[in-house]
Structure 1
Amino acid sequence: MTAIAAQTFFLMPIPPTPNGRLHLGHIAGPYLRMDMLGRYLRSQGHRVDVVSAVDGFDSYVLWKALQEQRTPEAVVRDYHGQIAHDLRALDVEVDDFLDLVQGPYAQQHARNAQRTVERLVALGVTQSVVERVLYCPDTRRYMAGAWLLGQCPYCRAGAGGYFCEGCGALFRPEAMLDPQPRMGDSPLHWVEVESLFLTVAHPEQLLQRMATSGAPASIVEVIARFLERENGRVRLTAPGEWGVAWSPDRFGNPRVLFESGWEYALTCADRSQEQAPEHGHAMLRSSEVTTLVSFGIDNAVLLLAGSVAVMDALQDHRSFDYVLTNYFYNLQGAKFSTSRLHVVWAADIVEKTPATSDAVRYFLSRESPEHGETNFAVEEFVEVVNVDLAGALDGRIDLALAVLDHTRPQSIDPALWPALELAVTRLGQAFRLDAVSVREAWDVLHQWMQRPDLDVTQPAHAYLWLKGLAYLAAPIMPRLAEYLWQRLGHDGLPLIQALRAASQPRPQTSARPRFAPLSPAALAPCLPASVVLAGATSDA
């Protein structure tokens, strides 16, 4: 096997809004995929820094604070901790997860954002645009972001704020059809506000860069339409007071910076650089660090058009090298919805039921919404766990472990190696940076689990199969992979460099991870009231 030159990677899963916990719809998209990629890269001997934050200045934080009658700072602090717990519960590793509203990096984050926009202004690439926004003088709220509901001006689907989840469009509040205040603000009248925009000098180059970064053609098309509609302008400020402050406009309206991902990239990369100063700042053009960001299609225009445009305009910076995008993940055929409590919270499914983190990750990988909308069907999850994992896999692992020879070092029989080598190659193809597919990675693992040509009651076959299983499962089912790797005589996590190395299997010293059989009733404690199943009830 050819030696792989070690590289350094900076990965940033999209910062979630801390107005609630993470549900399986969140996990199945940007967080699990990025975690699996990070684990795979580490298994190749690369250095990987995963740093993210919470998007604490989103206006939906203010709405949540109003609902819960708390300060927005308290809301951010609380849900920052709960989101971190949800990630840990499903073994989604983040080296640093920052609170940039009030944490130790908050001031640095604000300075990064302000100085960046100041530089853009000095470079002459910005433009002030007068636009109209509905305003309520009694509540002092501008009807934008979380406060505005209506219909998308392009596809006429129901929309809120600046975005349409139906077609992915990003638009100005004044373009919203049938605009309505979410909270019934009254009286309302139109006011003129002055907002700062960045002018994209070469839209065609920006679109080409997105295409080569792994963004699907459908998303690049949405961004192309956005740039055409907006005459190549990307928003930098918005009216309001919650956020990183910018100077008031000439009409006296307060303004904040309109966060679109680039500012989080700067601060998270600052944190990564602190851990490894020798690699330089990941978002600078002079850096040799390879960078990736993951996000859902509802953030595509904002993150791609906004971040690429800003970083390009800065000249000495660069946008992310690669992007992982995903579509929506549904629950029982309907969109996950925090407001309707049509959710399965990430930590609840493993803390309130017999389901294990590895089992959940296995199923979510199988159903990954990387090419289109997919669905978490409870009955199907139960069947997959019971048949694939608690049934076939657990039984086969028992057979293989039982015949291992613990008395001497063992190595893979050269005659058997080609079978594993093909699977290793296919796994590498699934994690190509410009076309990461965790569904393909799942398929490689799934086929290896079943290999009918390997008789695991024979010691040579058992050693090969277990070693391959540990390596191929590492991105998807890390707990099982680590246990098997150490039972085979290795330390730490599976590494490709050690795949062919001899090792002496160890006797069992601790209980191995097992997959408990499931039933709809066993999952009831984590299911919402909106999910009604035969043989299961929910008290949620």
Structure 2
Amino acid sequence: MTGHKKNYLLIPSVPTPNGRLHLGHIGGPFLSADILARYFRLCGHCAWIISGTDSYESYAAGKAEEEHLSPEVTCHHYHALIAQDLEQMNIQCDEFINPLDKKWNASYQEWHEQIVQQLLDNNATTRLKENMLWDETNQRYLTGYWLQGNCPICYERTASYFCENCGAHFRPEEIIHEGGLEQKEVENIFLQLPRDVDLISKGINQNIQALFQTYQVLQNHRFRLTTQCDWGLADKTDPNHSRTLFSYGFVFAYFLMFGEIAAKIMGINKNAFAVDSDVITISSFGIDNALPFLSSALGISSGCPQYKSFDYYLMNYFYYLDGSKFSTSRQHMIGVDEAINQKGLSSDIIRLYLASIDVRNQTGNFVMDDFIQYYNKIVDWLEQRVIQGIQNLPERVINSCTQSLQHQLFELFTTQEHVLQPTQFLPHIGVQSLNDWMVLNQSIDPCTDDYFWWLKGFSMVIYPYMPELGETIWHALGYEQLPTYADFFVKPTQSLQKQLQLTLKPITQEFEAQAEGICYEQNKS
């Protein structure tokens, strides 16, 4: 199952530092990357996760304006809180970069300047005159955070350059607005996108490939590289000093910086994205970032041929909360800090519930009542079948795994292998097969050797989804390192520990009452 040892670099979305993370943020790009990275390590491979915040995104400046602070102060503040939220959910980032930090700022700027110059030198860009809405009162262009109207594709209410409803990306002059606003003609640089790109083999489904192809046709195979926003890296090629670099257009330049950092961590002498690198690179993002991430990666790698694009893409649809989008502005959300620190919930069980929801093929729905019932059932089951069960294990396991149990184990491991691949990432099916393994436990006597082998298999398969539980059980069974398939039939080096250090409490009626107070908004459909 392990085969040739490989190196993987996984890069989840780079969140805007304008607020803390909620469970909708976690369940998509971050949990996907973490589950897959842990599974790769389980199989004997090496996997690293590098991410960071998108500090030069206009919404960070907008948040700073709301709080009457400088963008720098706001970005530093929320970057630290986002890093805490990821840690609380056991999302292991080998580096989580703050581009404004002194350690990284010079490198961040150098990568952007280097890439923009090479794109210009290689004639991989085009200049386009366009009309930008102008706010005379505040003396600024209405771009990004300050741009509001209706999507020109689906006509739903939207803001900035992207429509969260249909995934479209558009130029500011194309947004449908009420009118009466002054427009000014400006010139911006656009990235030329390659044509006839096969995305299906890289893990993108047909619907998203069709969305990308439609976007290319509508925008004449171009993607924005510069904009008119006071907050951002200056475009040093602009003699009028009116343009800044569009962070979404240059997000792959940011990722190339990650590739350089990864090379140092891995101890290799080339960027992880070097065209001759054997590092397998994987991008993980939500549908709202599909067009910018694909466009930036494909366009920049085409214009800078010494680099390859991502080898694979993990794309997820949104999570809804009780039928309506997670929304920070409407307070229709469950924050990570609220769930873990204020309510004392288990990050493991939250992760498992999120992973059980299919967001690969459709919008997922986090139903509060279902979650509470699911959570409490898992707590009860773990108490009865694992925490109490391990106490009845014999001190020494004499018999090897029976043929019948080996066959069922093989089926379990095979299912996980099939659904935890970058070309076919379906963790909800992996959780379903895990549920079958949990049901099997009911027919196994905890006083027998079979229970030892069942528990061992459980700790391995649960580890990517519930890392704290998987690691705790694995160590209790006498193993010092993290779980790996290669060690399944290896004799433990330590004695059996029958007291599992797990603190799991069911969700109380008090939490249920507070959960009912979450702002609720019905879908328009």
**1:198-213 equivalent positions in 2, closer than 5 A:** 198-200=191-193, 202-204=194-196, 206=197, 208=198, 210-213=199-202
The percentage of aligned residue pairs carrying the same residue is 29
The alpha-carbon distance between structure 1 residues 527 and 13, as it changes in their structure 2 partners (threshold 3 A), is farther
1:516 maps to 505
Larger CA deviation: 402-411 vs 158-167: 402-411
1:303 maps to 293
Provide the rounded CA distance (Å) in 1 between the counterparts of 2:415 and 2:286. 26
Partner of residue 345 from structure 1, selected from 324, 332, 335: 335
- The amino acid across from 1:401 in the alignment is I
The alpha-carbon distance between structure 1 residues 371 and 103, as it changes in their structure 2 partners (threshold 3 A), is farther
Provide the rounded CA distance (Å) in 2 between the counterparts of 1:137 and 1:313. 38
Provide the rounded CA distance (Å) in 2 between the counterparts of 1:382 and 1:292. 33
Partner of residue 452 from structure 2, selected from 447, 451, 463: 463
1:371 maps to 361
The alpha-carbon distance between structure 1 residues 109 and 373, as it changes in their structure 2 partners (threshold 3 A), is same
2:94 maps to 95
SS at match of 1:416: helix
1:145 maps to 144
Provide the rounded CA distance (Å) in 1 between the counterparts of 2:491 and 2:370. 40
Q: Deviations over 1:357-407 (max 9, x none)?
A: 1111111111242221111111111111222x1222321114531332224
1:218 maps to 207
Unaligned runs of 5+ in 1: 181-186, 533-540
Q: Deviations over 1:418-454 (max 9, x none)?
A: 1111101111111122111111221121111111674
Are the counterparts in 2 of residues 285 and 317 from structure 1 also a CA contact under 8 Å? yes
- The amino acid across from 1:269 in the alignment is G
SS at match of 1:119: helix
Unaligned runs of 5+ in 2: none
The alpha-carbon distance between structure 1 residues 291 and 235, as it changes in their structure 2 partners (threshold 3 A), is same
1:441 maps to 430
Are the counterparts in 2 of residues 330 and 375 from structure 1 also a CA contact under 8 Å? yes
Q: CA-atom RMSD, angstroms?
A: 2.1
Q: Deviations over 1:60-85 (max 9, x none)?
A: 01110011111100111000010011
Q: CA deviation at 1:158?
A: 0.6
1:383 aligns with 2:382: no
Provide the rounded CA distance (Å) in 1 between the counterparts of 2:497 and 2:514. 33
Provide the rounded CA distance (Å) in 1 between the counterparts of 2:178 and 2:27. 32
2:36 maps to 37
Are the counterparts in 1 of residues 477 and 497 from structure 2 also a CA contact under 8 Å? no
2:108 maps to 109
Larger CA deviation: 110-119 vs 413-422: 413-422
- The amino acid across from 2:305 in the alignment is Q
Are the counterparts in 1 of residues 478 and 496 from structure 2 also a CA contact under 8 Å? no
The alpha-carbon distance between structure 1 residues 437 and 404, as it changes in their structure 2 partners (threshold 3 A), is same
Q: Deviations over 1:6-34 (max 9, x none)?
A: 11111111100100000011011111111
The alpha-carbon distance between structure 1 residues 313 and 88, as it changes in their structure 2 partners (threshold 3 A), is same
- The amino acid across from 2:279 in the alignment is V
1:278 aligns with 2:264: no
**1:51-62 equivalent positions in 2, closer than 5 A:** 51-62=50-61
- Give the number of aligned pairs: 520
1:184 maps to none
Q: Deviations over 1:71-108 (max 9, x none)?
A: 10011100001001111111111111010123411111
Provide the rounded CA distance (Å) in 2 between the counterparts of 1:531 and 1:524. 14
The alpha-carbon distance between structure 1 residues 374 and 51, as it changes in their structure 2 partners (threshold 3 A), is same
2:439 maps to 450
1:166 maps to 165
- The amino acid across from 2:150 in the alignment is Q
Provide the rounded CA distance (Å) in 2 between the counterparts of 1:390 and 1:253. 57
Q: CA deviation at 1:293?
A: 0.8
Provide the rounded CA distance (Å) in 1 between the counterparts of 2:296 and 2:97. 21
Are the counterparts in 2 of residues 148 and 179 from structure 1 also a CA contact under 8 Å? no
The alpha-carbon distance between structure 1 residues 379 and 357, as it changes in their structure 2 partners (threshold 3 A), is same
Q: CA deviation at 1:134?
A: 1.0
Provide the rounded CA distance (Å) in 2 between the counterparts of 1:274 and 1:507. 38
TM-score, structure 2 as length reference: 0.94
1:192 aligns with 2:191: no
Provide the rounded CA distance (Å) in 2 between the counterparts of 1:459 and 1:151. 64
SS at match of 1:451: helix
1:358 maps to 348
Partner of residue 231 from structure 1, selected from 220, 225, 230: 220
